[in-house]
Amino acid sequence: MTNNGARSEKVRNTIESIRNIEATHGITKKALQEIRLQLMALATHTEWFTEDEFPAPQEKTDDTSSVYLLSQDAEDNRFALYVQSARAPTNTPPHNHDTWAVITGIQGEELNRFYKRVENGVELTGSHTVRPGSGVTLLPEELHSIHITDENAVINFHMYGLALECLTEREYYDKRSDAWKVFRSDTNIIDARYVTQ
Ligand SMILES: [Fe+2]
């Protein structure tokens, strides 16, 4: 079997395990912790998810993050797995996902801050730096923001219960206008499904 054949099989098997975890436990913190372990195991294969194959945007562009789709279910767009390759300065506002989300580290560091909703916006409740060997889990309504200060490409898995282009109700807190707004759905996704075919 070629290296890429081994990668396709491992990625497909990981996603199948994740489908089974959700079917067994539902969308719960326990399920997401088990999904996180699956994606952390996949992320140890750093030779399969390199900066050469999944580059971050060039420094001249405004975009600091590239999102590569590895897999999503054909019939209902569920179980969407992406490689995100980003560089500094990446700073998102606090936001939810309207579906479950799990992030695990492959290369570099991504600071995640967590929040709860309060009357005047959000209140910080904690933080975790995603790096190789770690990850974070978010239920549909849980809030986080991400921050990258590393000049080198930071490569992570981002997996969602439903594909990004279907998430039309994601909210973020806009500090400047002191208001919750709806994210425009992400259309800038690079199709890398050859990885799983
Ligand atoms: Fe997010």
The average pLDDT across 90-119 equals: 96
Q: How far is the CA of 160 from the centre of ligand 1 (A)?
A: 10
122-137 tens-digit pLDDT: 999 999 999 999 999 9
In the chain, domain spans: 3-196
Q: Are 130 and 156 in contact (CB under 8 A)?
A: yes
Q: pLDDT class for 1, splitting at 50, 70, 90?
A: very low
Q: pLDDT class for 151, splitting at 50, 70, 90?
A: confident
Bin 48: left if φ > 0, else alpha if -120 < ψ < 50, else beta: alpha
Looking at residue 109, its pLDDT comes to 97
CA 140 and chain centroid, separation: 13
Q: How far is the CA of 5 from the centre of ligand 1 (A)?
A: 30
Work out the end-to-end distance of the chain between its first and last CA atoms, rounded to an integer number of angstroms: 14
Using only the alpha carbons of the chain, give its radius of gyration: 16
Helix (H/G/I), strand (E/B), else coil: 121: strand
Specify the CATH number for 3-196; select among 3.30.230.70, 3.40.50.2000, 2.60.40.1930, 2.60.120.10.
2.60.120.10
Higher-confidence position of 34 and 186? 34
- State which amino acid sits at residue 194: Y
47-94 tens-digit pLDDT: 999 999 999 998 777 788 999 999 999 999 999 999 999 999 999 999
Q: How far is the CA of 196 from the centre of ligand 1 (A)?
A: 24
- State which amino acid sits at residue 195: V
Q: How far is the CA of 96 from the centre of ligand 1 (A)?
A: 7
Type and span of the H or E element at 180: strand 179-182
Residue 132 has which token pair? 């190789």
Looking at residue 3, its pLDDT comes to 61
Q: How far is the CA of 81 from the centre of ligand 1 (A)?
A: 13
The mean pLDDT of the chain is 94
114-124 tens-digit pLDDT: 999 999 899 99
Q: Is the pLDDT of residue 187 over 80?
A: no
* d(C-alpha 108, C-alpha 116), whole Å: 27
Q: How far is the CA of 23 from the centre of ligand 1 (A)?
A: 23
Closest C-alpha among 91, 85, 111, 43 to residue 188: 85
